Amino acid sequence: MQTAKERGVKLVEHDPVATLLCNEIRITGVVTKAGKHLSGRFVIDASGHKRFAGKTLGFKETFYSQPLAVWTGLSAGVPVETIFPKQNYTGFIPHTHGWTWLAPEPGNYCSWTRMEVKGRQQFNPPSMLRDFKLASEIVKSNRRWRLFRPVCKEGLLLCGDAAGILDPAAGQGILNALVSSARAAHTIFACILNPEFEALYLAKYDDWFTTGYLEKVDLLKHFYKQHGVELSDSNIKKAGHNQGPLSVKF
């Protein structure tokens, strides 16, 4: 944040985006909840699981898993040797319809995350931590694998979870956010230098993100199969058909 300020970036904090500005052709900026109109050649949506721009514009979602529930918390007073008797490492515990992840923290704390196919979830700590006091609220989230189509249009690029979501077992949420944000910035730079090729650059970004996302889907399915986790895709419904990167109408 400090580096951004030093380079002349204007930061608007504690004033969330309420809607997008647009004309007949492209996205032209945002309006905040306080009523500020912020215009720009491009908008990057890095809103994470809130997925603001895609929902606002009614982009279609394609689903690649059943509905999945994830919840996480922090338990206190947990001696490391209780959960990890031989080594002070994290633990991944798979089971038929999900998994549990444990990580010891300094001061006898233990972070944990659980995932279950929706309908099987019980929003409580893992069984081995039931007798220990919670040191945080349990945070719940919908981590169904899903991808917006498209992930960009004139004046707008989605990155990270705002474009495509996987569950935490993929282990690449932060990395994907950083890499796709950098790719979005490079795409915008190319569009500004050569505006006549904007459609091509946006199409390349859409293809790059979508290809990478689908590769991760295949890898995660393989990982779950190896560990006996069953996420049947027989009931998956695709919301709409894939759209090209420039086909959204207002």
pLDDT mean values, one per 10 residues, the chain (250 residues): 92 94 95 96 96 97 95 93 73 92 92 92 91 95 96 98 96 92 98 97 98 96 94 51 35
Question: What does the pLDDT read at residue 240?
Answer: 41
Query: The pTM is what?
Result: 0.86
Q: What is the pLDDT of residue 87?
A: 66
Helix (H) or strand (E) holding 52: helix 52-57
Measured CA to CA, the distance from residue 148 to residue 192 in angstroms comes to: 25
Query: Residue 70 corresponds to which amino acid?
Result: V
pLDDT value of residue 247: 36
What are the residue boundaries of the structural domains of the chain, listed by start? 2-65+147-226, 68-142
The CATH H-level (homologous superfamily) assignment of domain 2-65+147-226 is FAD/NAD(P)-binding domain (3.50.50.60)
pLDDT of residue 248: 31
Residue 65: which of 169, 139, 212 has the closest Cα? Answer: 169
The listed CATH number (3.30.70, 2.60.120, 2.60.40, 2.40.128) that belongs to domain 68-142: 3.30.70
